[in-house]
Structure 1
Amino acid sequence: MLFFEPALPLPAVGERTATLRAQVRRFIADELASGGFEPQCNSWTEGLGGAFSRRLGARGWIGYHWPVAYGGCGGSAFDTLTINEELLAAGAPVAAHWIAARQSAPLLMRFGSEAQRQAFLPRIAAGDTYFAIGMSEPDVGSDLASVRTRAEPSGARWRLDGRKVWTSGAHIAHYAIVLCRTAPADPTARHAGLSQFIVDLKAPGVTIRPILMLDGSHHFNEVTFDGVELPAECLVGQAGDGWKQVTSELAYERSGPERFLSTMPIVERCLRLVLEAPAAGSDAAAGRLLARLITLRNMSLAIWGALEAGRSPAIEAAMVKDLGTNFERDTLEIVREAMDADGRVAGDAVLAGLLASAWPLAPTYNLRGGTNEVLRNMIAKQLQAR
């Protein structure tokens, strides 16, 4: 495991990456000045701004490290990470393209056919095509080996039946990559017989119903597949390889900076107010937040380095997701207490607004991407095996 290695391998930040970060910051400043967006927490799930995604795509900032042939700029994975960090920290509306760029595209790059890469990757990089994740199901939760959605051969095609829930962005997405059974479940080999398909969410037989949050916001959905006909070329990789593919995909889903930067607009606003005023007792709490943030960022960087090297650090990604989402929830409580007790931040309308918008979504932090309890079981089993 990466985090048990004597020296945690971190990337060296070169001049090119530093220049890119400065460019992204200037772009964000210009967007804010022109009213291009309003900063928000959870911007990678709530900020469904298609026009903003297309502006990023026009600059080559979606999939920056992908090969030029697939719409990228041939940069490094750390260049893309730099872009994403700045966008998330600013609360920019990146939700429209986020899932497609974060995990659907890398999955197709690694396991998809050349025809699939050519068909989808340039459109994702342009900010024109969005994907959703078809994993979780009712009564299944994080135990993906128990999925009951099925795809059965139907002549030269496949027929898909089943139901997915907590499908973020399905109501605006063009496609979903759906994990399903293509062979009967085997109690002695629970991970066998699973496959993944690219499903057109506008196809006949697909029904999308909203799952609304307490505040009325909408990014979760229930998606039902009723006899959806799938061409053979929609199969990703080989039939039966779905478990290997989905665990690789989950490493991208669980380790990225969105797992600890969802509440960064709150952290940034609070720290700015604190640093612009004389020192006070709550500075220690601010210091603890920053220490945790830097640790999580280093862990995330190490995982991205492993992914770029072709490794699949699923357990390390689970650690980042667990620690990161707890950090996000703790941030809300720490800043709320500061607003009650620290005159430097009390009464700040911008900070109060950010907190009010983030609180209703806080319970989802430990659920989305796999519940923390399930992730801890995974981590414990790995530690026990050592």
Structure 2
Amino acid sequence: MNADFATLCANEPELATLRASLRAFLFADRDEFGWQPTVDAWLSSWDEGFSARLGDAGFLGMTIPGEYGGQGRSHLHRYVVTEELLVAGAPVAAHWIADRQVAPGLLAYGSEEQRQRLLPRIAAGRCFSSIGMSEPQAGSDLAASSAKATKTAGGWLLSGTKVWTSGAHLAHQIVVLARTGPVDPQRRHAGFSQFIVPTHSPGTTISPIVMMSGEHHFNEVSFDEVFVDDATVLGEIGAGWHQVTAELSFERSGPERILSTAPVLTALVRLLAAQDDLDDHAAAAVGDLLARVISLRQLSVSVARALAAGQAPVNEAALVKDLGTRFEQESVELAADLFSYATQVPGREPVAALLDIARLHSPLFTLRGGTNEVLRGVVARGMGLR
């Protein structure tokens, strides 16, 4: 294999062994516990028992060092685990944010007390977290956030409202971005800090945001002078923007920005493969679909390799998220078109059900983690164009 191309893959022997062992775990766990693959599982499929079993089997906390209860492996090992969980449509939502974003933040910026207290629970699949960033008047433009924390004796008083806070009603804690310094029009990103706020803190109100389908994943979270002590500060006061920017690289670049619809696509391809008279148009459409998945996957792997090398690929992560989520949205309608060709084989009902879920979730793909318009601004600035 060409060496340059090999770097865009994740097929080294050690990674292949990890991939095979996780697949075996997933097959056995599904047979025993009966969970069903679903689309957008990292948002919609919350199963605390599954997260605990995954942790017990050693498939969580891949990049957390052994002294904190993790596996002490690389971002590429974590990438392989993430990819396999998404393709399987496994119920991963409970541990997702804690493992993906909070753990790297704690390792980079957290105090030793925070690491000792939280990282072992994250690696065990028993710590559930949400992220408090967006606000009613500040969605992707986080610099417009107005939630504030005011210094008081022994800690801080936190006030403000966060929206679209995934899983807050079930999580143990919310990592909140709040303003701790005065607004400076010349330096909009200055004066922010992060706090690890327990969801049961007095003065915290969590209200559901229910989707038209009746699903409840998102929440509005209000803080009314919530007291948080100094030990809840994540990193340095005033360094919140830098920390959040690094954190968003983990959120934006992973395979979840490409593979949220993988369960319906793989089920559909299997269905079409059993069709005797699949015409050339449908075959070409399947080929185009797979080619796009493969190329986007290579981009995502390249970001994982950069993270493994200690780099901060902010621009690359934004690009992966932009291209990946646009593909995910387009893949839903393409899948619906291809589904119409599968007319002579059994097994259509499960694929139709997955397709219905994909259509419901499709509008979310290009919004969460930053709208595509904002991401293109990030890329433009990184290229010196703005």
| Shorter-chain TM band | over 0.9
Q: Distance between the aligned counterparts of 1:344 and 1:309, measured in 2?
A: 50
Are residue 61 (structure 1) and residue 59 (structure 2) matched? yes
Cα deviation per residue 1:244-294 (whole Å; 9 max; x = unaligned)? Answer: 100000000100111111100011001112233445220111111111111
Equivalent residue of 2:258, what SS?
A: helix
Cα 1:104–1:72 shift into 2, 3 Å: same
Counterpart residue type for residue 373 of structure 2: E
Which residue matches 1:251?
249
Task: Name the amino acid aligned to 2:229.
Answer: P
Matched, 1:319 2:319: yes
Separation in structure 1 between the aligned mates of residue 56 and residue 314 of structure 2, nearest angstrom: 32
Distance in 2 (CA, whole Å) between partners of 1:179 and 1:45 is: 21
Counterpart residue number, 2:329: 329
Q: What one-letter code is carried by the residue in structure 1 that aligns with 2:209?
A: I
The aligned runs of 1:1-386 (5 Å cut-off) are 9-10=7-8, 13-278=11-276, 279-281=278-280, 282-343=282-343, 348-385=348-385
1:317-337 CA distance string (max 9 Å, x none): 111111111111111101111
SS at match of 1:84: helix
User: Per-residue deviation at 1:84?
Assistant: 1.1
Distance 2:236 2:344 in 1: 58
Closer, same or farther in 2 for the Cα pair 1:341/1:272, shift >3 Å? closer
Could you tell me how far apart the structure 1 residues matched to 2:370 and 2:63 are?
27
CA distance in 2, matches of 1:12, 1:231: 43
Q: Which runs of 5+ in 2 are unaligned?
A: none
Letter in 1 for 2:339: M
TM-score by length of 1: 0.95
Residue 206 of structure 1: CA displacement?
Answer: 0.6
Q: Deviations over 1:343-372 (max 9, x none)?
A: 367971111000112211111111111111
Q: Give the alignment's TM-score, normalised by structure 2.
A: 0.95
* C-alpha separation in 2, matches of 1:363 and 1:144: 21
Give the AA of the match of 1:280. Answer: D
Q: Following the alignment from structure 2 to structure 1, what is the Cα–Cα distance between the partners of residues 333 and 318?
A: 23
Structure 1 unaligned runs (5+)?
A: 1-5
TM-superposed CA distance for 1:154, in Å, is 0.5
- Per the alignment, in what secondary structure is the counterpart of residue 359 of structure 1? helix
Question: How far did 1:381 drift?
Answer: 2.9
Q: Kindly tell me: are residues 345 and 99 of structure 1, through their superposed partners in 2, closer, same or farther at Cα, counting changes over 3 Å?
A: farther
Once the two structures are overlaid, the 10-residue window that deviates more, 270-279 or 211-220, is: 270-279
- Counterparts of 1:39 and 1:232 in 2: how far apart (Å)? 42
Give the Cα–Cα distance (whole angstroms) in 2 for the partners of residues 201 and 344 of structure 1: 51
* Cα separation, 2, equivalents of 1:283 and 1:63: 40
Alpha-carbon distance between aligned partners in 2 of 1:166 and 1:90, rounded to the nearest angstrom: 26
Task: Specify the code of the residue in structure 2 equivalent to 1:322.
Answer: D
Q: What is the CA-CA distance between 1:78 and the residue it aligns to?
A: 1.2
The answer to whether the 8 Å contact 2:272/2:341 transfers is no
2:137 counterpart SS class: coil
Given that 2:10 and 2:301 are in contact with CA atoms closer than 8 Å, whether structure 1 keeps it comes out as no
Q: Give the match's secondary structure for 1:291.
A: helix
**Do the aligned partners of 2:146 and 2:160 also contact (CA within 8 Å) in 1?**
yes
The RMSD of aligned alpha carbons is 1.7
> 1:342 deviation in Å?
4.3
Q: Distance in 2 between matches of 1:179 and 1:92?
A: 30
Runs of 4+ in 1 over 6 A off after TM superposition: none
- List per-residue Cα deviations over 1:130-189 (Å, max 9, x = no partner): 110110001111111111000010112111000000000001100111101000110011
Q: Distance in 2 between matches of 1:118 and 1:183?
A: 29
Whether the 8 Å contact between 2:172 and 2:198 is mirrored in structure 1 is yes
